[in-house]
Amino acid sequence: MNTASPSKTSPNSRVLMRAHALTHPGAQFKEAITVADVMASKPVAMPLKLLDCCPVSDGGAAFVVSRERTGAMGIRVRGCAQAHTHQHVTAAPALSELGAEIAIARAKAASGVAISDVRYAAVYDSFTITLAMLLEDLGLAGRGEAAARVRAGYFGRAGAMPLNTHGGLLSYGHCGVGGAMAHLVETHLQMTGRAGPRQVRDASLALLHGDGGVLSSHVSMFLERVR
Amino acid sequence: MSGKLADWTSGAEAILYQSCGACGRAQYFRRSFCAACGAPDVVEKSASGTGTVYATSLVCRAATPETRAHIPYNILLVDTREGFRMMAHGDNDLAIGDQVVAGYRSFAGRLVPYFEKRK
Ligand SMILES: [Zn+2]
């Protein structure tokens, strides 16, 4: 439920996530879609339509955290922070004061990293509107500019800020906690140069953002590749 | 000991909220303390049932078999006159900013607050 209008802001992000999913053998969805397909999909909870919503998926994700370096490249946590403002949506602060902005500000302070340092982004994308809001709250797009940046290719594999190159929750799939863990798995593959045909030019510094509840609980993390 | 007030969650036609004796804040979810200032002296009160629509979403896909007969139905966030925000049902043509008043209807076998435009 939201006072913003996703029909104006976000079908493009679903099309982008689907395009990314087509390049991942493990993705749930294998067919390309258009903005017209998103707009023509059946209504679920207006203004959200079926293709604005992540699927209900079976699946899983796994990663191993080791103290010792396992290869030529390692990944270091530069800084991490969280914010929890509410649980039920009736207790949420104003849309302009959500926890993502608090978490990212704290993570920047803890790490000394600026958004302009980030080369790869992994952002929770349960619904098209969630992704648009988080991109703007995190500073990956200006207020009201997320849709234009998606359309311009900014978040594509070859764009300035590759985003969820596995297809995200929206198209790779959302199997609960494992769905969000897949963002981290993909980030690690990108950062260590093992993403195969999805490999981006430079994923030396990544931003992960997770969101739980109803925009309730937020965690922002900066990861850095070390040699 | 005074009698406990009843509300729609137990089948009574009423909306209850808590008011903080220390800071005056109103909260909808019942707690043994004030979520704003932590004071333990929250008082249960009955709401007027009037408010302003903050958000709406028309639900077109039933979440459960029991709710299938109701679709499409509108889910609202209402900012009440008393100062707390609540989720509720309401007329399908309500819009953000509408002044509304609560009645009560049966939804999937339970009594729920149902808002209509205030005349
Ligand atoms: Zn208080």
Using one digit for the tens of pLDDT, what is the confidence trace for B51-82?
A: 999 999 999 999 899 999 999 999 999 999 99
pTM for this predicted structure = 0.92
Domain extents in chain B: 8-46, 50-117
Would the pLDDT of A7 be above 60? no
CB–CB contact A90 B56 (8 Å): no
CB–CB contact B61 A45 (8 Å): yes
ipTM of the predicted assembly exceeds 0.90: no
From residue B35, alpha-carbon distances to A83, A93, B70 in Å are 17, 13, 34
Q: Is B117 left (phi over 0), alpha (psi -120 to 50) or beta?
A: beta
Encoded tokens for A148: 């234009």
Candidate from A1, A45, A90 with C-beta closest to B60: A45
Q: How far apart are CA A9 and CA A128, in angstroms?
A: 8
Encoded tokens for A173: 């799939």
From residue A198, alpha-carbon distances to A31, A55, A187, B116 in Å are 17, 22, 11, 52
The minimum CA-CA distance between B62 and chain A, rounded to whole Å, is 8
Would the pLDDT of A10 be above 90? no
CB–CB contact B87 A43 (8 Å): no
Of B61, B60, B51, which Cα lies nearest the Cα of B96? Answer: B51
Each residue's pLDDT tens digit, B74-83: 999 999 999 9
Q: Would you tell me which residues 120-179 of chain A have a C-beta closer than 8 angstroms to some C-beta of chain B?
A: none
pLDDT band at A6 (very low <50, low <70, confident <90, very high): very low
Q: Which amino acid is at B88?
A: A
Question: By percentage, how much of chain B surpasses pLDDT 70?
Answer: 97
Query: Quick one: average pLDDT of B28-35?
Result: 95
Would the pLDDT of A5 be above 50? no
- Do the bridges between strand A217-226 and strand B73-80 make them parallel or antiparallel, or are there none, so unpaired? unpaired
Q: C-alpha A162: how far from its chain's center?
A: 10
Residues of chain B in contact with residue A1, where contact means CB-CB under 8 angstroms, are 55-57, 75, 77
Q: How far apart are CA A132 and CA A96, in angstroms?
A: 13
Would the pLDDT of B112 be above 80? yes
pLDDT for A124 equals 97
| Residues B115, B93 contacting (CB under 8 angstroms) | no
From residue A105, alpha-carbon distances to A82, A83, A123, B1, B73 in Å are 10, 10, 16, 49, 39
pLDDT for A2 equals 39
pLDDT for A94 equals 84
A35-72: b (≥16 Cβ within 10 Å) or e: eebbeebebbbbbbbebbbbbebebebeeeeeeeeeee
Q: State the distance from the centre of ligand 1 to the C-alpha of B20, rounded, in angstroms.
A: 5
Query: Quick one: average pLDDT of A164-190?
Result: 95
Residues of chain A in contact with residue B35, where contact means CB-CB under 8 angstroms, are 91
CB–CB contact B60 A42 (8 Å): yes
Candidate from B57, B85, B96 with C-beta closest to A46: B57
Candidate from A3, A44, A91 with C-beta closest to B60: A44
Q: State the distance from the centre of ligand 1 to the C-alpha of B35, rounded, in angstroms.
A: 7
pLDDT band at B1 (very low <50, low <70, confident <90, very high): very low
Each as own residue / partner, the long-range contacts of residues A101-104 (CB below 8 Å, 24 or more positions apart, any chain) are A101/A137, A101/A138, A102/A218, A103/A209, A103/A218, A103/A219, A103/A220, A104/A137, A104/A138, A104/A139, A104/A209, A104/A220
Domain extents in chain A: 6-226
Encoded tokens for A143: 């207020």
- Do the bridges between strand B42-46 and strand B73-80 make them parallel or antiparallel, or are there none, so unpaired? unpaired
The minimum CA-CA distance between B1 and chain A, rounded to whole Å, is 31
CB–CB contact A90 B86 (8 Å): yes
Q: Does domain A6-226 have CATH number 3.40.47.10?
A: yes
| Residues A147, A131 contacting (CB under 8 angstroms) | no
pLDDT for A67 equals 85
- Helix, strand, coil % in chain B, rounded to nearest 5: 10, 45, 50
Of A5, A213, A185, which Cα lies nearest the Cα of B57? Answer: A5
Each residue's pLDDT tens digit, A83-127: 999 999 999 988 778 999 999 999 999 999 999 999 999 999 999
Query: Quick one: average pLDDT of A198-222?
Result: 96
- Do the bridges between strand B26-27 and strand A205-212 make them parallel or antiparallel, or are there none, so unpaired? unpaired
Q: Count Cβ–Cβ pairs < 8 Å, chain A vs chain B.
A: 45
pLDDT for A87 equals 92
Q: Which residues pair with B46 in a beta bridge?
A: B16
CATH class of B50-117: mainly beta
Spatial CB neighbours of A66, under 8 Å, sequence gap ≥ 6:
none
Instruction: Tell which of A90, A95, A127, A214 to mutate to test the B interface (max B CBs under 10 Å).
Output: A90
